[in-house]
Structure 1
Amino acid sequence: MATTLSEAYRDHPLHLHHIIPLDFSSLRTLPDSHAWPQSEDGDGDDDNHGIGSPIPIIDLMDPNAMELIGLACENWGAFQLKNHGIPLSVVEEVEEEAKRLFALPADRKLKALRSATGATGYGRARISPFFPKHMWHEGFTIMGSPCDDAKKIWPNDYAPFCTIMDNYQKQMKALADKLAHMIFNLLGGISEEQKRWINGSTNNLCEAVQLNFYPRCPEPNRAMGLAPHTDTSLLTILHQSQTNGLQIFKEGAGWVPVHPHPSSLVVHTGDILHILSNSRFRCALHRVMVNSARERYSVAYFYGPPVDHVVSPLVLDSLPRFRSLTVKEYIGIKAKNLRGALSLISMLKN
């Protein structure tokens, strides 16, 4: 039987102090545990900084959409996507369910606390152990059906949450399948066997939905919503509420805010696509800032091949930059080396 994404994380347990979030509703000052060094390249209250976003906004109905997506993946590792086919009602419903969940008292949310060896449920960001300070963030992770965790929180009223999350996951997978086909066509040279997993069963696909909540923060300039990192996924599709916070790092420009664009979804590339494309496509380094005036919500859909799938750099007229390995093996390497995983599989000599 194939290993699932959830099972792939069992070999990399976390300590409970890296899982249990603070009860942010009771805080009026920033605790030292969440106080980061002040940043000189951006602050939390950036709602009014800049007009528009330099991150490309791509219309999926544009005849040149595939080429534009390729350029965005090469230059940014991220883009905003409009006319993507996901009904607005689907996105609004999932955001409302996220708000309903995170508004619950802490003791209710803790009933679905992620276990030390688990990958689903309520808790801190999984990247927490790699940073000296905690993040101003609460999360809820779904892999497969959300019902087991939802029943712990709403024993008699879990069905609406499950139905909405299942539908959202189904719709996001269909969009991700479409984008993956476009990206693979751009790369060229990928055999039908290597991309057979696209449009396949979700039973062992590396997919997850992550609900994120960033409460109002008393000192946003000294806090961090989500610390800088890249995603392990092939690609990530993100819905963000109409509150600024997400930033993408671009060489030569620094941290660039991704201003919410109505009815658009943010797409950014992950490590698996970076490896597969032999570094042609970036893996987007991103972070989330917080502010004192507004709460922020986001819903991330992570998408990638099955954990037993072998990822090999596509080499047409150059040498491979990375060694081939399974998705599960890479998850294990990154679970121990968040920021150095790619260098550890690099084939380039120093």
Structure 2
Amino acid sequence: MAISVIDMSKLDGEERAETMAKIANGCEEWGFFQLINHGIPVELLERVKKVCSECFKLDREKRFNDSALVQLLNGLLETKKGEDQEQLKNTDWEDVFTLLDDNEWPSQPLEFKETMREYRTELKKLAERMMEIMDENLGLEKGYIKKVFCGGEGPEHGPFFGTKVSHYPPCPRPDRVIGLRAHTDAGGVILLFQDDQVKGLQVLKGGEWFDVQPMANAIVINTGDQIEVLSNGRYKSAWHRVLATPDGNRRSIASFYNPALKATIAPAPKLSGQANENGDAFAYPKFVFGDYMDVYAEQKFLPKEPRFQAAGGHE
């Protein structure tokens, strides 16, 4: 079983209805799907791969190799099997930094900033188009999700858009540490430009882990916790993880289109008639996204249902 690969160019032709249905199925059944022919120039994607890989080599690799995590793992290589299983339980084999509109970006290589600004502009447009498709598939008015994600009037209250640049270097003991622990994403729509050579990303479905297969120039889409709430559970946020691997330096560039911290999140009133299996019209409480993030910071790797209830308890 493989994650759906959807040709986005077919949204503009005779196969529009079929393509919309495939996207709806990806949101409902998996919480993950891959887009091809999404409109982002291949030339730009090639530049993104180049500058992110060079940034790691020039600015990040030595720091990672000198880190306490690497030193700890190296120190455990000679221990007896089983003695150190707990020591690396709450650790991720990941080098990561975040790009926002107003934080400090790496200065090397020289073309990094220009390339990533251009990339983020394209990804933000793609995220907003995906949300409009979700609006339509859910029977909501156009722009509903984006409007809910705003924390008030004016650009200063607009949705949050951040980009996380990660590398998962070769790991000498992938049996001792995971690349990134299993979690759901806290926010809205996530757009991932993953490595097209080194696999490692997996999504949980029906109690089984499935690979999100590497594919050149595809953008992986997954839905976060807030889309689950807005859709009243019709679209579920999916548990996913990254495995550490002994070979290859896996690159992962994830962009997050999230609500503003002051945005109020609740199931869309239009979806209240779609009761859940317990007969509840609304399966989720109403809460402020900033309150949810406070809970998520402490419970990211724990079951998500108590997070919703804890955030709703701030009301």
CA shift digits 1:230-285 (9 cap, x unpaired):
11121111011121110000015x00001111221111111010111111111011
2: CA distance, partners of 1:76 / 1:193: 23
Q: Which of 324, 332, 339 does residue 286 from structure 2 map onto?
A: 324
Q: Which of 38, 43, 51 does residue 89 from structure 1 map onto?
A: 43
Cα deviation for residue 108 of structure 1 reads 7.8
**Kept after mapping to 1: 8 A contact 2:89/2:177:** no
Q: Which of 302, 306, 311 does residue 256 from structure 2 map onto?
A: 302
SS of 1:196's equivalent in the other structure is helix
1: CA distance, partners of 2:180 / 2:101: 24
2: CA distance, partners of 1:309 / 1:290: 36
Aligned length: 270
Q: Is 1:334 matched with 2:296?
A: yes
SS of 2:227's equivalent in the other structure is helix
Cα deviation for residue 295 of structure 1 reads 1.2
In the alignment, what sits opposite 2:203? 248
Tell me: higher relative CO, structure 1 or 2? Use CA pairs within 8 A at least 6 residues apart: 1
Letter in 1 for 2:136: N
In the alignment, what sits opposite 2:147? 196
Cα deviation for residue 197 of structure 1 reads 6.5
Q: 1:316 to 1:203 in 2, by over 3 A?
A: closer
Q: 1:281 to 1:159 in 2, by over 3 A?
A: same
Q: Which has the higher helix share?
A: 2
Letter in 2 for 1:327: F
Identical aligned residues as a percent:
28
Letter in 2 for 1:179: M
Structure 2 stretches of 5 or more lacking a match?
11-15, 65-87, 276-280
2: CA distance, partners of 1:256 / 1:107: 29
1: CA distance, partners of 2:37 / 2:145: 29
TM, length-normalised to structure 2: 0.77
Letter in 1 for 2:118: N
2: CA distance, partners of 1:225 / 1:291: 8
2: CA distance, partners of 1:202 / 1:184: 24
**Kept after mapping to 2: 8 A contact 1:60/1:81:** yes
TM, length-normalised to structure 1: 0.70
Q: Which of 257, 262, 275 does residue 229 from structure 2 map onto?
A: 275
Q: Is 1:177 matched with 2:128?
A: yes
**Kept after mapping to 2: 8 A contact 1:95/1:299:** no
In the alignment, what sits opposite 2:112? 161
Q: 1:107 to 1:139 in 2, by over 3 A?
A: closer
* Equivalent residues in 2 for 1:1-350, closer than 5 Å: 54-62=2-10, 63=16, 64-104=18-58, 132-145=89-102, 148-150=104-106, 154=107, 160-190=111-141, 195-196=146-147, 201=155, 204-242=158-196, 243-252=198-207, 254-314=208-268, 315-317=271-273, 318=275, 319-338=281-300, 339-346=302-309
CA shift digits 1:111-168 (9 cap, x unpaired):
xxxxxxxxxxxxxxxxxxxx8432111001112145x242xxx3xx675221111111
Let me know the Cα RMSD of the aligned residues: 2.8
1: CA distance, partners of 2:20 / 2:213: 23
Letter in 2 for 1:187: L
Letter in 2 for 1:244: K
CA shift digits 1:274-329 (9 cap, x unpaired):
11111111101110112212111010011123222211112331211111112212
SS of 1:178's equivalent in the other structure is helix
2: CA distance, partners of 1:238 / 1:325: 27
1: CA distance, partners of 2:296 / 2:92: 19
